[in-house]
Amino acid sequence: MNNETLLRNLRNIPDFPIPGIQFKDVSTLYKDAECLKIMVDELYEKYKDKGITKVVGIESRGFVVGAALALRLGAGFVMCRKPGKLPGDTKKESYMKEYGEDTIEIHCDAINNDDIVLIHDDLLATGGSMKAAYNLVKQFNPRNIYIGFLIELRIEGLHGREALGNDIEIETLIRI
C-alpha cells in the first residue's frame, strides 16, 4: 500500500546535501498533525501483535515517530546514537559509508535478551546504516528483531532491502 497523503506531503529537496541527491525531507510529514497520526497509526497496526518491548530509533530522524510508536505499543524507547553522544557505557558497531567509516552506539543496559525489538528509521536508501543498527542490536541477543521505515527509496542503483537480507521482516509505509 502506498500512502497518498504521506506522498503528497513529503517535500523533495533537489541537490541536498550535495549535487545529485534528491533529499526526502520528512520534516514536512512530522509537522503535519494528520501525517504524524497516519504514520504512527499505520506502524502501530503493523506491529501491535508482535510483542514489541523496545523500539530503537536511529539518530535523529528515527527518534520522532520511533518514540511516538513506542508509546502506542506500550514499549520502551532506545536511542541509537552517533559516537560520543551517550553518557553511559555503550556497545558499538562500525560500518563503511561512501566516504570513510562511521560508528553507532547504544547504552549497554538499554536492551536485554528478553526484549523483542523494532528498529525504526525514517528512510531506507542503501541500507548501510540500518544494517549496522541491526548488527548492533544483535549484540544484545534479543528474542526477535523487526525493522520498520517510513520511506523506502527504490530508485535505480539502490538495493536497500536486498542489503538487509531476506531473513529480516521489513515494513515501509511509502515506496518511491
Task: Give the footprint of ligand AMP on this chain (CB under 6 A).
Answer: 21-24, 58, 61, 121-130, 160
**Cell numbers standing for residue 72:** 502506542
| Of 42, 61, 93, 105, catalytic | 61
Whether 98 is a known active-site residue: answer yes
| Of 11, 72, 93, 98, catalytic | 98
Sequence-ordered list of residues with C-beta below 8 angstroms from that of 32, at least 6 positions apart, any chain: 9
**Cell numbers standing for residue 28:** 514536512
| Least distance CB 82 / ligand AMP (angstroms) | 11
| Least distance CB 143 / ligand AMP (angstroms) | 25
Q: How far apart are CA 171 and CA 28, in angstroms?
A: 21
Helix 33-47 and helix 62-73, axial crossing angle in degrees, nearest 10: 60
| Least distance CB 86 / ligand AMP (angstroms) | 18
Q: Which is nearer to ligand AMP, 11 or 37 (CB)?
A: 11
Q: Which is nearer to ligand AMP, 40 or 123 (CB)?
A: 123
Whether 143 is a known active-site residue: answer no
| Least distance CB 94 / ligand AMP (angstroms) | 14
Q: Which is nearer to ligand AMP, 93 or 121 (CB)?
A: 121
Q: How far apart are CA 104 and CA 94, in angstroms?
A: 7
The C-alpha cell 551517550 sits at 86
In three-state form (DSSP H/G/I as H, E/B as E, the rest C), the secondary structure along 83-138 is CCCCCCCEEEEEEECCCCEEEEEEECCCCCCCCEEEEEEEEECCCHHHHHHHHHHH
CA distances (Å), origin 10, targets 15, 74, 86, 93, 97 = 16, 28, 31, 31, 26
Q: Which is nearer to ligand AMP, 88 or 157 (CB)?
A: 157
Which sequence positions are flagged as catalytic? 61, 98
